[in-house]
Structure 1
Amino acid sequence: MEDYSKYSDPELATALRLGNDAAFKEIYTRYFKLLYLFAYNKLRDEEEAKDVVHDVFAWMIDHTENFALKTSLSSYLYKSVLNKIFNIFSHQAIIKKYIDQGDHYIEVDSTETDYLIREKDIAGMIRQEIEAMPPKMREVYRLRFEQYLSAKEIAAKLDISENTVNTHLKRAVKQLKNNLGIAVFVLYVLNG
């Protein structure tokens, strides 16, 4: 078995994109502790810090075929963790705003309540926005983000071009960002 510890980050990223599990294991070994410490310093919660780092690595596993770096591997990983942390902070701001409105009686510090509010409010807003999309855009969006079909598969299923699929997806994402705000949209994408 090859020794991936001697591989550079770009070599590991290329091997990962080709589906090499050993390359992923080396990336994980090389960066997990550093990313965890980085997340912990921001969040001050061990479990939440571990969850954030695991989510980033889980995303990498699920998207290896599309894993293309525009920066260094370490920059990509740190930025991904930081985006997850911003997501958590944005979510906390949404919860605080909801609580400050005083339209309900809940235990503010309850983690369970926190998740229930997020699920109910944000999922409801997103559902509403998706329902408001033009029919074809909505259908393309759902096939991509709810059934996880590729643009090519959607084009074949709906008998339209891939360009048309991509146009619908770009417009749908833009509409969601504009109507929901970037913080809610990012929260949705990262937890979707």
Structure 2
Amino acid sequence: MESFSSYSDAEIWNLFRGGSDKAYEYIYHRHSVELFSYGLYVVNNRPLVEDCMHDLFVYLFQHRASLGETNAIKYYLFKSLRRRILEAVETRTRQHNRGNEFTNTLPETASSPEEKMIEAETSSSRNKHLMEAVTALPPRQREAIFLLYFSNLDYPETAEIMGLNIRTVYNQVHTAIQTLRKQLSHASLLPVFLE
């Protein structure tokens, strides 16, 4: 695969929009694992997230010539995936309310390659306890922490992706950090961003 490491996001995106399959491959390989992890923070339903990611990348490929510009590909993908997931959940909820079968939202027990990679990266005791504590947070707090500290987005980007105002994001994060400090301080497991 061609290396785009010296290109800016805007240049890669414009190459992709101009028809470069190599740029498309690069975008997919560069962002798919993190995008999938983010999707699981939005909704704990592996098949739903996989379907939404597939639909997103097919849509991008089919409509690339008409896509708008961006200078932050990860932000663009996160926002697009979140919108697709919420629409899919809403559709399934409506179907359920009409008496149709609703897909179980519990994660599957079989580990995927992404899960194995994440488990390997978080094998230390500190990371294990941190992830357990983050997972126990309410969904909006968990999502905000993921976007800010694990995906390195800033507050305005996080607010835009979540559809909240910046003050609400600050409040969600403040409450989440207070909760995490209480849960992790007893075992001296505070990560740098909580100290």
Return the TM-score normalized by structure 1.
Answer: 0.48
Flag the structure with more relative contact order, 1 or 2, with Cα contacts below 8 A and sequence separation at least 6. Answer: 2
**Higher share in helix:** 1
Return the TM-score normalized by structure 2.
Answer: 0.48
The structure number with the bigger radius of gyration is: 1
